Amino acid sequence: MAAAYEREPSASLLADAGQCHATVEWLLTQTRREVDRMELHAAATSSATLMSQLVWDASQRRDYSTTVAYCDVAIEHAREHGDAIAGAHAELRKSFAALYGQADVRDPKTGLASAQIAAEQSRDVSNALAGLSLLHVGEAYAMLGEHRRCEQTLNQAESRFNRIGSDDPGTEFFSPTQLGRLAGSCYLSLGHPERAVPILTATADAVQDRSKTRSLVLSNLALAYLRQRQLDAATATLHDAIDLLEDSRGGGGMTVVFSAGRELYPWRAEPAVQDVHDRLLALVARA
């Protein structure tokens, strides 16, 4: 379903994923044979983690409580069948909900704590997942304005990625573009948009086939241009992001593209800005 997640709105996948998860949970109540129960706990870990991802995306990063509840379910099932990687990944997804939610639920300190737990749990078992967790630790530090700790953690994450072996059990969570995507976002949070632009530009070029990820990267890139008062580049990049969001409805991209729309306010009389605002209103109308 990962491929479908990148192509399709998460809301369209929720019903089938929810039915699958409910079926696995029901089978656990009916099954006594231990080997079968372990397989069902593994399936429930995967389905609960997927549900957390779909709920988070479909709600456009608004439904914090349900997202975290599914993560906790995944963590419990992972503990039952002794899967440290899956448990750490679900813990990391809890950090996403705290770090990237709407302003009223965003909590960098809580996100930092969850990402640190995920990094610690995966430290001795997967360089891929430990590195990814450290990237989000770094972004939490960036949101808290801790420049030195952020850059130190980004370097630690890169070092972990450089040590990923062919037998790493967490490689399914790794993508070579993650470092650029998160580093660019970090420099935005730290108030260095000029450092974010080249990183985000290269990352956007590298994720041409992942529409939700690319819409998020482009939205952050538009913010970086805006914060350097490069209006033409910002509006052109926002149009590219909106093109992708019209089909994918990616929650991350939607959240950031509307943040960029609000930052366009000082130029609201410009025709190019009015065009962007018209397209943002059309996105709302289709929600």
Range of the structural domain that residue 112 is part of: 85-174
Q: Looking at the structure, tell me whether residues 227 and 274 fall in a common domain.
A: yes
182 found inside a domain: no
How far are the Cα atoms of 33, 148, 166, 200, 217 from residue 60, in angstroms, in the given order?
A: 40, 31, 35, 22, 16
- Nearest-angstrom CA–CA distance, 115 and 137: 5
| Residues in CB range of 200: below 8 A, 6 or more apart | 180, 181, 184, 217, 218, 220, 221, 224
- Domain edge (last residue) among 82, 97, 115: 82
Half-sphere exposure of residue 279: CA atoms within 13 angstroms, side-chain side: 21
Q: Looking at the structure, tell me whether residues 9 and 67 fall in a common domain.
A: yes
Tens digits of residue pLDDT in 84-116: 999 999 999 999 999 988 777 789 999 999 999
126 DSSP assignment:
-
Q: What total of structural domains would you count in the chain?
A: 3
Entry pTM: 0.89
Structure tokens at 135: 């990237």
Tens digits of residue pLDDT in 162-210: 999 999 999 999 998 999 999 999 999 999 999 999 999 999 999 887 8
